């Protein structure tokens, strides 16, 4: 029995991600037997009007609402208007009380904060003020804080109200099927586990170019940018997933601890090894400041000072309005010494596509059949969705399901976030000069130098 309160229920994030994920869980039969979803927002929206808005969101972003499943889903939707802050709860307390009478007095209360990070502190305090914190689970979107100081302040505020066991800091890249394959493939297969070391790996590339603009969330993005929206969150977490030492077990606490330990070994980012960009035309978007210095692109070198990875560059890159969409992690293997002369560099690569259900790909050199001793590039791909009885969940659906069941293994902890903010601090304190790049490109050409003497595997 669950009452799920979605703050910011009519916003862009809820429409694109949270509501489709919740409906996915419903049609997959993965929600509790008795549940109610209460949307919250400033507007005075009727229950029926909210249902129509949810239906429109599903029609646009999927899964498409079908008659039978939709009727059962819709009847469990409620809306509480009038906003929510320490001064006034709007109609939320009354709607929650009604939902609990229907779902059960002892229903688990879950609060999902799909709202700007600047409101996290005030909303957490409001949960305490209005008696909604005790025994609840609270989901915070990223970024958790907007600077090292803001992170520490928010962390103290949250822990004045909530026990750490109640807190779920979401980073949807950790919910991706292929992100989890990073440790599954490594720890379940000696062939991969043996090469997961600086003796064999020349570099690691974590590359997330996006064709997406920011028109639907320009005001939020202009206060955040690529470094806060993507680098200190998604890319750092994926780097930790690649670089962590084997956990004691696959239990939630052990997986979290392994990721957080390696983040503490991230060397502070060097602004001289970083390129920040902004695509041309960004400042013409409604909601963006006329003189905005917000970065829409970042590429940097991350160094991880552990015995396993010391001296191996982790090349991280992401940007908006680039030439293609991709979410790719590549372990570039060293060129072997031996009888073959002048082997082409970057020919042996183990690649994980994090997009969709994910794919594992191995690039290698093979003998070309014939009388000559010629080599040819070859690739072997394993689409994870093709595995027998595969039933992948979208990342938001997976993570919301984990919140419902109380599994915190794919959520971040404050010690790891504190280390991530320490690593990014030099870049926030002294960012390099912002350079522009044309929409539809691979970003600023200056980033090519970060991969020298070789190249980014995607694009340049």
User: Which active-site residues does the annotation give?
Assistant: 234
Identify the residue whose tokens are 């978007």: 285
What's 450's DSSP letter? G
Question: How is residue 406 written in tokens?
Answer: 């109380």
Would the annotation count 106 as a binding residue? no
CA max distance for the chain = 82
- Are 353 and 327 in contact, with CB atoms under 8 Å apart? yes
Question: What are 204's strand-pairing partners?
Answer: 314, 331
- Beta-sheet pairing, 349-353 with 274-279: unpaired
Please give, one letter per residue, the 3-state secondary structure of 192-223.
Answer: HHHHCCCCCEEEEEEEEECCCCCHHHHHHHHC
Whose CA is closest to 419, among 148, 215, 153, 158?
Answer: 148
Report which of 162, 207, 449, 249 is spatially closest to residue 352, judged by C-alpha positions: 207
Q: Cβ atoms within 10 A of the Cβ of 107, count? A: 20
Q: 8: annotated binding-site residue?
A: yes
The answer to whether the CB of 369 falls within 8 A of the CB of 386 is no
Angle at 359 between CA 297 and CA 459, to 5 degrees: 35
> Residue 293 annotated as binding?
no
9 annotated among ligand-binding-site residues:
yes
130 is in an annotated binding site: no
- Tell me: is residue 142 an annotated ligand-binding position: yes
Is residue 199 marked as binding?
no
Q: What is d(CA 84, CA 98) in angstroms, rounded to the nearest whole number?
A: 17
420, 266 contact by CB (below 8 A): yes
Q: Is 42 annotated as a binding residue?
A: yes
Beta carbons of 355 and 325 less than 8 angstroms apart: yes
Q: Is 320 annotated as a binding residue?
A: yes
Measure the CA–CA gap between 408 and 364, rounded to whole angstroms.
37
CA trace torsion 210, 212, 214, 216 (10° rounding): -140
CB atoms within 10 A of CB 336: 12
Instruction: Of 301, 302, 296, 303, give the one whose Cα is nearest residue 318.
Output: 296
Q: Does the bond joining 453 to the residue before it have cis omega, within 30 degrees of 0?
A: yes
Nearest by Cα to 245 from 232, 262, 230: 262
Q: State yes or no: 11 annotated in a binding site.
A: yes
Measured CA to CA, the distance from residue 168 to residue 219 in angstroms comes to: 25
DSSP 8-state symbol, 412? B
Question: Is 14 labelled as part of a ligand binding site?
Answer: yes
Residue positions forming the annotated binding site for NADP(+): 8-15, 42, 142
Residue positions forming the annotated binding site for substrate: 172, 176, 210, 229, 320
Residue positions forming the annotated binding site: 8-15, 42, 142, 172, 176, 210, 229, 320
């Amino acid at each position: 029995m669950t009452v799920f309160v979605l703050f910011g229920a009519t916003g862009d994030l809820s429409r694109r991600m949270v509501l489709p994920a919740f409906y996915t869980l419903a049609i997959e039969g993965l929600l509790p037997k008795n549940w109610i979803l209460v949307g919250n927002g400033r507007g005075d929206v009727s229950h029926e009007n909210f249902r129509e808005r949810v239906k429109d969101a599903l029609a646009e972003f999927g899964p498409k609402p079908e008659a039978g499943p939709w009727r059962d889903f819709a009847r469990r939707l409620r809306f509480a208007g009038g906003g929510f802050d320490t001064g006034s709860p709007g109609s939320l307390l009354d709607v929650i009380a009604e939902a609990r009478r229907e779902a059960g007095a002892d229903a688990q209360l879950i609060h999902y904060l799909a709202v700007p990070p600047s409101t996290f502190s005030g909303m957490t305090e409001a949960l305490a003020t209005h008696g909604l914190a005790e025994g609840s689970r609270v989901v915070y979107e990223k970024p958790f804080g907007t600077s090292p100081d803001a992170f520490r302040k928010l962390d103290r505020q949250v822990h004045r109200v909530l026990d750490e066991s109640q807190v779920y800091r979401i980073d949807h890249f950790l919910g991706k099927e292929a992100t989890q394959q990073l440790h599954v493939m490594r720890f379940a297969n000696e062939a991969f586990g043996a090469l997961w070391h600086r003796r064999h790996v020349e570099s690691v590339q974590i590359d997330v170019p996006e064709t997406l603009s920011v028109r639907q969330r320009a005001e939020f993005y202009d206060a955040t940018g690529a470094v806060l929206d993507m680098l200190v969150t998604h890319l750092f977490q994926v780097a930790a997933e690649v670089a962590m030492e084997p956990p004691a077990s696959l239990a939630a606490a052990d997986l979290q601890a392994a990721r957080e330990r390696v983040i503490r070994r991230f060397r502070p980012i060097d602004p001289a090894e970083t390129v920040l960009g902004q695509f041309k035309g960004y400042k013409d978007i409604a909601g963006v400041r006329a003189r905005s210095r917000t970065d829409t692109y970042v590429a940097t070198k991350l160094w991880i000072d552990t015995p396993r990875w010391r001296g191996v560059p982790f090349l991280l890159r992401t940007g908006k309005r680039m030439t293609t969409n991709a979410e790719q992690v590549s372990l570039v293997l060293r060129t072997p010494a031996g009888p073959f002369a002048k082997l082409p560099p970057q020919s042996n690569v183990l690649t994980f596509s994090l997009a969709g259900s994910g794919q594992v790909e191995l690039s290698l050199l093979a003998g070309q059949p014939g009388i000559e001793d010629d080599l040819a590039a070859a690739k072997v791909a394993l689409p994870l969705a093709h595995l027998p009885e595969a039933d992948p969940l979208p990342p938001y659906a997976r993570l919301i399901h984990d919140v419902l069941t109380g599994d915190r293994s794919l959520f971040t902890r404050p010690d790891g976030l504190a280390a991530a903010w320490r690593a990014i601090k030099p870049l926030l304190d002294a960012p390099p000069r912002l350079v522009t790049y044309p929409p539809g490109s691979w970003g600023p050409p200056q980033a090519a130098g970060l991969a020298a003497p070789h190249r980014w595997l995607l694009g340049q």
